[in-house]
Structure 1
Amino acid sequence: MRYRRFGRTNLNLSVFSLGTMRYLGSAMEAEGVVQRAIALGVNHLETAPAYGPSEAYLGQSLKNLPVSDPLYITTKVLPKGTCEDIMQQVDQSLGRLGRDHLECLALHGLNQPEHLGWLDQGGQGALEAVLASGKVAHIGFSSHGPLEVILAAMENPLFSFVNLHYTYFFQRNAPAIARAREKDLGIFIISPADKGGRLYRPPEKLDQLCQPLSPLHWAYRWLLSQPAIATLSFGPATVAEVDFPLGIADEDGPLTAIEKEILDRLDRVFQALPQGDRCEQCYACLPCPEDIHIPEVLRLRNLTLAYDMQEFGEYRYRMFGQAGHWFPGQPAHTCTECGDCLPRCPSNLEIPRLLQDAHDRLRGPQRRRLWETI
């Protein structure tokens, strides 16, 4: 296991952090996951009240484990409520975790301008009170929101770290990674395996393009080769799923010649898409009058056409119109062909046609999501 400094928190975190969103089976199973991860060198554990019984399971697991090396825990609070609400949530989390303080507390889903407004309307004071209480050492935020919101939040001196989506297949947040490094914020990458492409179950085409590595191995290496990034989340549901990521946790140097060859291969396949079919992800088409997240819809279409990532595309596309600010935008078939986006597209794409094609390719049955209750 390698360890990296987590920005100005000055915590040295394992390059893989145990995310506990998925281990909702049983307390015994959770304890096995935690025990195995710690045995292999993980020292940062990430949880949240919204993750079902995750905090309670984690607290029980740590109570039963003889741990001598330092362990660091991050939990979360939602960006809403009064100072009393926030303090109560922190106290409840501490009780479930069986601890008297936390190393890190993150705002869970600072996704909208309204969440920045909450900070101005008392939220900032509430979080400063938590810090002053000594119950939390460092405060940061996680975001699934627009780059503009993320960059604005980073300018707040309250925050010492940020949890972001950023992978080879989603590089929109690259400017946020650069800005976080400039400001010495700890950088924690969210769900590179699942929301980064469901890379634990890749299509055959992507698997072949990444040989002799697996797509998941290569994607982890692409992130670990970037020294600004401190740690990546991995979320095993069972003990059997712990070992693979941690088996490459010491591979944190620059990309090797073979890995660069894979990168070139992937880039070439994407560039081979016809220009009229390829969205370059400039975001100039937004805002859409019908609230369609055009670049994200077309990114999923890109991945399907270039790498056969159909399952991943369907999985994410089904969330449009269902997940609120956690995954904003309406399904592509709500396009009215108003033409508002067309003159703003530097690639002169036939956006309404591509949106309908994306809908036809990726639509699927609706499914209930964890955050519908948040």
Structure 2
Amino acid sequence: MRAVDSAAQMGAVVEAALAAGINHLETAPAYGPAEAHLGAALRQLAIPRERLLLTSKLLPGVDLATGQAQLQSSLQRLGLARLDNLAVHGLNRPEHLEWALQGDGAALLRWAQAEGLVGQVGFSSHGSTDLIERALASGRFGFCSLHLHLFDQERLPLARQALAAGIGVMAISPADKGGRLYDPPPELVEDCAPFTPLQLAYRFLLDAGVSTLTLGAARPEDLAWAVALAGADGPLSAVEKQALARLAEAGRRRLGAGACGQCRACLPCPSGVPIPALLRLRNLALGHGMTPFASERYNLIGRAGHWWEALDASACQQCGACLPRCPHGLPIPDLLAATHQLLAAPPRRRLWG
């Protein structure tokens, strides 16, 4: 989704990916010219088909005929007769799940597999844990792509549930949406020593058993992490565990009594405020110096449709319903107001959408 300036740029990234040992490429029609550039790169590099696993995605909600045409167009752009994986791109709302399981989406996925155009079908989701759990329990999907991050562990139980059921799990953007870990602040570098933040975050996910870790590369040099992490699977070492413990302790120390433990006991909010998600951003900004990332994410709220939260902390009505629920006695309305003051800024455009 990032190497989209030209087919030459995409080709250089794909060639570097193969040299680094990567064999899974994921794209989507929603990523501008990415499919066309990837198809041109694959033809130019003449990569044997069996060397690669290729995934593309389709947005939910289309009728059967439109979805069939979109899939055929994807295959044509990629120069392929068959995708290894087809994902529902952004299974984020209940109506998306209904579409995939019972509506035209269900017919589309059945047709794609019956025609031999795709191998397995799966989904990516930025939705609620309840929605993802229902999707996994449906038995329809062979893989899922989820937000799984060292600094956002809410969906890790779902990932473990999926893995136990034989469902493949891909972590969405551990480096970027996981905290812009390729450009860490000094506090975070210090907290993760002797490892880099990105190295520790990837090792954390590998230890959790996550099947695939994505590297959103725009340049060949962006794949240096894949080379550095080659063979870095297996359980965490004692030194890595110690580093993770120091990282957590450093965050708690800086946050003091205002640290949100992300237990979610405060929900549901009568005003619909996503309290844990907002206080997690506060945790990152004050606990680890990750204010630029936290502010970037905060200011996408309400501007990214169903891909991110709809309400920021300014929607808090100070009703106090959350106060008796918090096991730590946090002054949640005050913390939300402070979070808004800390992070609110002129919004930036999303990369896609």
- In the alignment, residue 132 of structure 2 is paired with which amino acid? I
- Which secondary structure state, in structure 2, belongs to the residue aligned with residue 291 of structure 1? coil
> Which of 23, 31, 41 is residue 61 of structure 1 equivalent to?
41
- Alpha-carbon distance between aligned partners in 1 of 2:203 and 2:229, rounded to the nearest angstrom: 8
> Which of 273, 284, 287 is residue 268 of structure 2 equivalent to?
287
Please tell me whether residue 27 in structure 1 is matched to residue 1 in structure 2: no
Larger fraction in helix? 2
Please tell me whether residue 151 in structure 1 is matched to residue 138 in structure 2: no
Aligned match of 2:237: 256
> Which of 327, 332, 346 is residue 308 of structure 2 equivalent to?
327
Aligned match of 2:74: 93
- In the alignment, residue 39 of structure 1 is paired with which amino acid? A
> Which of 23, 26, 29 is residue 43 of structure 1 equivalent to?
23
Identical columns (%): 45
- Which secondary structure state, in structure 2, belongs to the residue aligned with residue 73 of structure 1? strand
4+ residue runs of structure 1 moved beyond 4 angstroms? none
8 Å CA contact 1:166, 1:173 repeated in 2: yes
Deviations 1:162-218 (A, max 9, x none): 101111111100221121022110111110000001000001011011112211111
8 Å CA contact 1:276, 1:350 repeated in 2: no
- In the alignment, residue 140 of structure 1 is paired with which amino acid? G
TM-score scaled by structure 2?
Answer: 0.95
Shift of 1:273: 5.2
> Which of 185, 190, 200 is residue 218 of structure 1 equivalent to?
200
Aligned match of 1:122: 104
Count of paired positions: 351
- Which secondary structure state, in structure 2, belongs to the residue aligned with residue 175 of structure 1? helix
- Alpha-carbon distance between aligned partners in 2 of 1:341 and 1:83, rounded to the nearest angstrom: 44
Structure 1: 5+ residue stretches without partners: 1-20
The alignment yields a C-alpha RMSD, in angstroms, of 1.5
Task: Specify whether residues 143 and 263 from structure 1 end up closer, same or farther in structure 2 by C-alpha distance, changes over 3 A only.
Answer: same
Summarize the alignment of residues 212-361 of structure 1 with structure 2, pairs less than 5 Å apart. 212-226=194-208, 228-272=209-253, 276-361=257-342
Q: Higher mean Cα deviation, 184-193 or 280-289?
A: 280-289
Aligned match of 1:107: 88
Shift of 1:348: 2.2
Task: Specify whether residues 42 and 169 from structure 1 end up closer, same or farther in structure 2 by C-alpha distance, changes over 3 A only.
Answer: same
Task: Specify whether residues 94 and 274 from structure 1 end up closer, same or farther in structure 2 by C-alpha distance, changes over 3 A only.
Answer: closer
8 Å CA contact 1:86, 1:127 repeated in 2: no
8 Å CA contact 1:224, 1:253 repeated in 2: yes
**Larger RCO (CA under 8 A, 6+ residues apart):** 1
Aligned match of 2:55: 74
> Which of 142, 146, 168 is residue 164 of structure 1 equivalent to?
146
8 Å CA contact 1:323, 1:371 repeated in 2: no
